[in-house]
Amino acid sequence: MSTKGVGVYGINSVFASGSLVFYEKAVGRTATGDVFTVGTAAVKVGGTAQDVDFQFYGTGSLSAIIDTGAATFTLTGIATTMIGALTVGVDDTGHDVKFFGATSGAYLLWDESDDALEFSAGANLTMSTTSKLVIPVKASGSTTAGDLWLDTTDSKLHFYNGSAEKTVTDS
């Protein structure tokens, strides 16, 4: 028997269908009553009818919290190493992804609604001398400020400055 808030909850257990199931005594073996199951294929906490959160705390301010109701996973003060591919969203349904720098207000954002990689004021793109920047190749005629392209009609670098198309020259 344990206390939670001001109520008292009793927990029972039963071995059923090859699994050890812990459930709230007052609710019984139901979708909302089963709280912890140890089976041969998985360990399950809660059920589809429950909003169960995991909260792990370390010394100081270290924590890892999975809030299933809010659909968030938050690590505080814990370094994370991922091995393998990271996929955010699915085709035709993306998500914003933001990386913060050490300077206040500096970040890199993949904006899913704009389908664009955006740098905040103060954030920079730095490339080594062996890196490649791929510039689009197309025919002349952009009217989007900031566009830069290699024109297929004259093989020159062009840009649109917001009011007119300009050609980059060597003089």
Q: Give residues with Cβ within 8 angstroms of 36, minimum separation 6.
A: 21, 22, 43, 44, 45, 46
Tens of pLDDT, residue by residue over 117-150, are 999 988 888 989 999 888 888 887 788 888 888 8
Measured distance between the N- and C-terminal CA atoms of the chain, rounded to whole angstroms: 84
Which residue blocks in 109-169 are alpha helix, DSSP H? none
* The model's pTM: 0.53
- The whole-angstrom separation of Cα 7 and Cα 16 is 28
Edge-to-edge order in the sheet of strand 148-151: 137-138, 148-151, 157-160, 165-167
- 164 residue type, one letter: A
pLDDT tens by residue, 28-76: 888 888 888 999 888 888 877 777 788 889 998 899 999 888 888 999 9
Q: Is 158 exposed, middle or buried (0-12, 13-18, 19+ CB in 10 A)?
A: buried
Domain boundaries, the chain: 9-48, 51-79, 89-127, 134-171
**Spatial distance between the Cα atoms of 45 and 26, rounded to a whole number of angstroms:** 18
Cβ neighbours around 36 below 10 Å, total: 15
* CA atoms of 152 and 30, how far apart (whole Å): 68
pLDDT of residue 138: 82
User: Residue 171's pLDDT is what?
Assistant: 60
Q: What percent of the chain has pLDDT over 90?
A: 28
